[in-house]
A and B are shown apart, each in its own frame.
Chain A
Amino acid sequence: DAGVIQSPRHEVTEMGQEVTLRCKPISGHNSLFWYRQTMMRGLELLIYFNNNVPIDDSGMPEDRFSAKMPNASFSTLKIQPSEPRDSAVYFCASSYRGGNTIYFGEGSWLTVV
């Protein structure tokens, strides 16, 4: 079975550029999560969706960040404009609502220079 698929795996971009991270959740899962991992702050939940609807975006750091889930099999996390402090690993994860286990993708390593 395919797991959570994220792209790109690695991205290096210049400050001020737009960055779009993509995620395909596990088929049949109806909850999707975006996490960010940094050395300073560890793993933080940015936003999560249930049935394609954003439920809690309180972890989104600021207006430069936005996330969408246009359908059950695709989500994006966009940063515009990007800044060096956005450099981190961004994980997408999914689960079946009513289930108790979240499955993570391999992550997108973002470096903003």
Chain B
Amino acid sequence: AQSVTQLDSQVPVFEEAPVELRCNYSSSVSVYLFWYVQYPNQGLQLLLKYLSGSTLVKGINGFEAEFNKSQTSFHLRKPSVHISDTAEYFCAVTSYNQGGKLIFGQGTELSVKP
């Protein structure tokens, strides 16, 4: 069975500071990894994904994530956050044999303060 653990439920940070949102996964097969963002009262929007190839993945809004197979991690980073990045962020995993089913972490609430 696959699982995802987001290590921080809430991350407060000041505007223009760097941020890292942590995600660890568990799987017995090769994985595909995703980060989604959910702004208040909205649906989930894909930030970035890792399918194969380069372990450093760049997404929208200046976010990037690094796949680390040995540490089974897929941490999300941004060098300088904006107030508008305040949202809930979800890490998710699937694999070739899951029919596209995504398993989500519990989410990390990023709160950017002025």
Partner-B contacts on A (CB < 8 A): 31, 33, 42-43, 45, 48, 50, 55-56, 91, 93, 95, 97, 99-107, 109
Interface-side segment among B20-28, B41-49, B73-81? B41-49
Question: Complex: how many Å from CA A79 to CA B44?
Answer: 23
Partner-A contacts on B (CB < 8 A): 32, 34, 36, 41-46, 49, 51, 90, 94, 99-107
Give the interface SS of chain A, mostly helix, strand, loop or mixed. strand
B51 near A102 with CB under 8 A, answer no
Asked whether A48 and B43 contact (CB < 8 A) given A43-B90, A100-B49, the answer is: no
B90 near A106 with CB under 8 A, answer no
For residue B103, which residues in chain A have a CB less than 8 angstroms away from its CB?
45
B32 near A100 with CB under 8 A, answer yes
Question: Complex: how many Å from CA A56 to CA B30?
Answer: 21
A57 smallest CB distance to B (angstroms):
12
Asked whether A97 and B43 contact (CB < 8 A) given A42-B107, A43-B90, the answer is: no
Question: Complex: how many Å from CA A33 to CA B44?
Answer: 13
A43 near B104 with CB under 8 A, answer yes
A102 near B99 with CB under 8 A, answer no
Question: Complex: how many Å from CA A44 to CA B79?
Answer: 31
Contact of A48 among B42, B46, B99, B107 (CB under 8 A): B99
B42 near A106 with CB under 8 A, answer yes
B100 near A31 with CB under 8 A, answer yes
Cβ contacts A to B, 22 pairs, < 8 Å: A31-B100, A42-B105, A42-B107, A43-B90, A43-B107, A45-B103, A48-B99, A48-B100, A97-B99, A99-B100, A100-B49, A100-B51, A100-B94, A100-B100, A102-B102, A103-B46, A104-B36, A104-B45, A105-B43, A106-B42, A107-B42, A107-B43
A95 near B100 with CB under 8 A, answer yes
For residue B46, which residues in chain A have a CB less than 8 angstroms away from its CB?
101, 103
For residue A97, which residues in chain B have a CB less than 8 angstroms away from its CB?
99-100
Question: Complex: how many Å from CA A103 to CA B43?
Answer: 10
